């Protein structure tokens, strides 16, 4: 299990906070200074650099999988909006994508994004709009079948208006979910980032109709001042729904 890294260091006289302060440089906005200061003092950012991950978001999927165990050896995984690749990095050893453990089945992972992503060993990267016609067929062809997991850490471009940003990310998640319906295998898992705000209630109801278990989680590595949380929907029963079973 992953443990939240400590943001403090210990001296011989006990524990003291070694927080880095950043002065606002000429021509730089206060918001940029505050962001830089937060990055420099974020223990997860430091840990990501130390452990070779492409971003602190890697620890979010790590903590979610430690709890729900959906990234299993042999799993076929699709990571929507995968840039810069931290979630893919975490998935590779957990699904045995490189086949390094001969005693366990080898999984496959496809990272999909609109922008180019630096290669990751064990990951097939697709420069693709997952909303484009035929995108799901391309993914299934690469996977050699349906996916066991569809995951998304996508967020819409921020407008600065909390309500608008919330609606935008809900629309993005609903699009990701529609894609998942097309590619998920029976019993599959859907994982996505959401922002708390109320408009997600309808989506939650839909998830509960189409999955046997739905949970909402804020992992330890998610910043306390962020409204983000993650929905974990397990046990996809969409194939039965499509054929009219269980209606």
Which pLDDT score is estimated for 86?
Answer: 96
Q: Is 137 one of the annotated binding-site residues?
A: no
Give me the residue spans of the domains in the chain. Answer: 22-51, 55-242
Burial zone of 46 (CB within 10 Å; 0-12 exposed, 13-18 middle, 19+ buried): middle
State how beta strands 184-195 and 228-236 pair: antiparallel
Which pLDDT score is estimated for 246?
Answer: 43
Q: Is 153 one of the annotated binding-site residues?
A: yes
Which pLDDT score is estimated for 222?
Answer: 86
- Give this prediction's pTM: 0.78
Confidence of residue 6 (pLDDT cuts 50, 70, 90): very low
CA torsion angle 139 61 71 69 (round to 10) = -140
Confidence of residue 16 (pLDDT cuts 50, 70, 90): very low
Catalytic residue, from 26, 49, 162, 193: name it: 193
Q: Is 113 one of the annotated binding-site residues?
A: yes
Q: 55-242 architecture in CATH? A: 3-Layer(aba) Sandwich (3.40)
- Cα separation, 53 vs 89, whole angstroms: 7
H or E stretch covering 148: strand 147-152
Q: Are 154 and 82 in contact (CB under 8 A)?
A: no
Is 193 assigned a catalytic role?
yes
């Amino acid at each position: 299990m992953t443990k939240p890294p400590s943001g403090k260091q210990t001296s011989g006289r006990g524990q003291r906070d070694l927080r880095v302060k950043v002065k606002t440089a000429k021509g730089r906005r206060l918001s940029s200074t505050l962001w830089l200061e937060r990055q420099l003092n974020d223990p997860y950012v430091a840990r990501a650099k130390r452990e070779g991950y492409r971003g602190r978001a890697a620890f979010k999927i790590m903590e979610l999988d430690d709890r729900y165990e959906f990234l299993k050896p042999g799993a076929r995984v699709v990571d929507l909006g995968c840039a810069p690749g931290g979630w893919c990095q975490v998935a590779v050893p957990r699904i045995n994508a490189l086949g390094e453990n001969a005693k366990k089945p080898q999984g496959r992972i496809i990272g999909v994004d609109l922008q180019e992503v630096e290669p990751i060993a064990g990951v097939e990267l697709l420069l693709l709009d997952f909303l484009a016609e035929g995108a799901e067929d391309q993914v299934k062809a690469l996977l050699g079948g349906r996916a066991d997991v569809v995951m998304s850490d996508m967020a819409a471009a921020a407008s600065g208006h909390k309500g608008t940003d919330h609606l935008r990310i809900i629309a993005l998640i609903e699009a990701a979910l529609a894609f998942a319906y097309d590619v998920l295998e029976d019993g599959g898992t859907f994982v996505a980032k959401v922002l708390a705000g109320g408009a997600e209630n309808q989506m939650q109801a839909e998830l509960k109709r189409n999955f046997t278990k739905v949970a909402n989680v804020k992992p330890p590595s998610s910043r306390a001042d962020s409204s983000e949380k993650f929905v974990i929907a397990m046990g996809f029963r969409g194939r039965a729904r499509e054929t009219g079973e269980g209606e």
